[in-house]
Amino acid sequence: MKTFPLVLPLLWLGPSLPALAEAPPLQLAAEYAPHHNPADYLVSEKLDGVRAWWNGRQLVSRGGHVFAAPDWFVAGFPATPLDGELWLGRGRFAELSAVVRRFEPVEEEWRDVRFMVFDLPASELPFSARVTALQRLAATLNTPYLRLVKHHSLTDAAALAALLDKVESEGGEGLMLRHRQSRYAPERNQDLLKLKGFQDAEATVLAQLPGQGRFKGMMGSLLVETPDGRRFKLGTGFSDEQRRQPPAPGTRITYRYRGETATGLPRFASFWRVRRELP
Q: Left, alpha or beta for 194 (phi > 0: left; psi -120 to 50: alpha)?
A: beta
**Does residue 148 share a domain with residue 69?**
yes
Question: In the prediction, which pLDDT does 74 show?
Answer: 97
Question: In the prediction, which pLDDT does 262 show?
Answer: 81
**Does residue 236 share a domain with residue 127?**
no
**Does residue 71 share a domain with residue 40?**
yes
Residue at 6 is within a domain:
no
Residue at 17 is within a domain:
no
Across the chain, which has 279 residues, the per-10-residue mean pLDDT values are 33 42 89 94 96 96 94 96 96 91 93 97 97 97 97 96 92 94 95 89 94 91 94 92 93 87 86 74
Letter string b/e over residues 36-52, b meaning 16 or more CB atoms within 10 A of that residue's CB? bebeebbbbbbbbbbbb
Stated pTM of the model = 0.75
Counted domains in the chain: 2
Residue 229 CB coordination number (10 Å): 6
**Does residue 157 share a domain with residue 213?**
no
Is-contact 153 171, C-beta < 8 A?
Answer: no
Question: In the prediction, which pLDDT does 12 show?
Answer: 29
- Among candidate residues 153, 168, 195, the one where a domain is terminated: 195
**Does residue 205 share a domain with residue 168?**
no
Strand order across the beta sheet in which 219-225 lies: 231-234, 219-225, 199-210, 252-257, 270-274
- Among candidate residues 156, 179, 195, the one where a domain is terminated: 195
**Does residue 224 share a domain with residue 129?**
no
Is-contact 236 263, C-beta < 8 A?
Answer: no
**Does residue 215 share a domain with residue 157?**
no
**Does residue 110 share a domain with residue 42?**
yes
Residue at 103 is within a domain:
yes
Question: In the prediction, which pLDDT does 278 show?
Answer: 57
Distance between CA atoms of 57 and 71, rounded to whole angstroms?
10
Residue at 128 is within a domain:
yes
Letter string b/e over residues 121-137, b meaning 16 or more CB atoms within 10 A of that residue's CB? bebeeebbebbeebeeb
Question: In the prediction, which pLDDT does 8 show?
Answer: 31
Residue at 9 is within a domain:
no
**Which is the catalytic residue, given 2, 46, 194, 216?**
46
- Whether 46 sits among the annotated catalytic residues: the reply is yes
**Does residue 248 share a domain with residue 166?**
no
Question: In the prediction, which pLDDT does 277 show?
Answer: 58
Q: Domain holding 171: CATH number?
A: 3.30.470.30
Q: Domain holding 218: CATH number?
A: 2.40.50.140
Question: In the prediction, which pLDDT does 264 show?
Answer: 86
In DSSP terms, 212 is beta-bridged to: none
Nearby residues of 76 by Cβ (< 8 Å), 6 or more positions away: 141, 142, 143, 145, 146
Distance between CA atoms of 270 and 257, rounded to whole angstroms?
6
**Does residue 182 share a domain with residue 156?**
yes
Question: In the prediction, which pLDDT does 111 show?
Answer: 96
Is-contact 102 110, C-beta < 8 A?
Answer: no
Residue at 49 is within a domain:
yes
Nearest to 145 by CA among 71, 45, 64: 71
- Among candidate residues 173, 195, 217, the one where a domain is terminated: 195
**Does residue 161 share a domain with residue 88?**
yes
Query: Residue 260's domain spans which residues?
Result: 199-274
Residue at 21 is within a domain:
no
Is-contact 249 205, C-beta < 8 A?
Answer: yes
**Does residue 159 share a domain with residue 43?**
yes
